[in-house]
Chains A and B, each alone.
Chain A
């Protein structure tokens, strides 16, 4: 009996040590984790498009709408984007409309309009968007020009 009681007291003592010991034996450290997903935009390969007016017949006349092959692009989900262009390479005054197509060999030009959806919000590379390109040549602008091929190259830029 005496032995048992002494063990009881001893066990209580051990329990006390256990409680303190566990508290002492573990330490913790806090790690702060952070990241920022950039707002960015990219045109999707092949990064080209087209606006084809086809054959313009002065004997028929009338305004002609171009057939667009739209470049596609994506922006970071949630990023507000802006698209701009350089007005082509044949405008009369740099950076000022109208954009113009130039005759392949002659210094003759046909003005055209060139519109697209310039702003919006990205949805990530998994959901690319298209430009909604459109353009028009007025009948009066090709009624008195030389026959032949006309062309222009417009460079589009997208930010961010």
Chain B
């Protein structure tokens, strides 16, 4: 880098030319958050009974911690709505074998979705899922599945 600078001085002095330089920088967070191993979780609703009038629910958790130069960090979680969503946050599971394909809608919430926590301290994230009776009562018998990627920033 120093050598380039020296060459530059020489060239500009001779040509008496000017150049416009766009200057940009991004200040990175002083923090860096990671999911603790294994960084995976299973949200299993188990057996859902079509005769039930109550939502089917499931819960699981992930653990994360933040490190870096700052004493505390503010993390933020987002999810990709899974593989079969019809729109953002309109998650669906897909029937294992039905043809044509059949889907069952469910909701996914992350708690807390964002928080400011001390660095190097475990933070448990609760992942809650729910299937409304209207979505499972007339669904075909059988297994349904989806896969959701949760992204942690910074």
Residues of A within 8 A of B (CB): 1-2, 4-11, 13-15, 17-18, 21, 24-40, 42, 76-79, 122-127
Contact = CB atoms under 8 A, between A and B. Distances in A.
A34 B4 contact: no
Chain B binding surface SS class: strand
Contacts, number: 192
A32 B147 contact: yes
Main secondary structure of the interface of A (DSSP, over half): mixed
Interface residues of B, number: 69
Interface string B135-153: 0111111111111111111
A36 B47 contact: yes
A126 B138 CA distance: 6
Contacts of B22: 11
B29 A37 contact: no
Contacts of A38: 47-50, 141
A36 B39 CA distance: 24
B26 A21 contact: yes
B101 interface: no
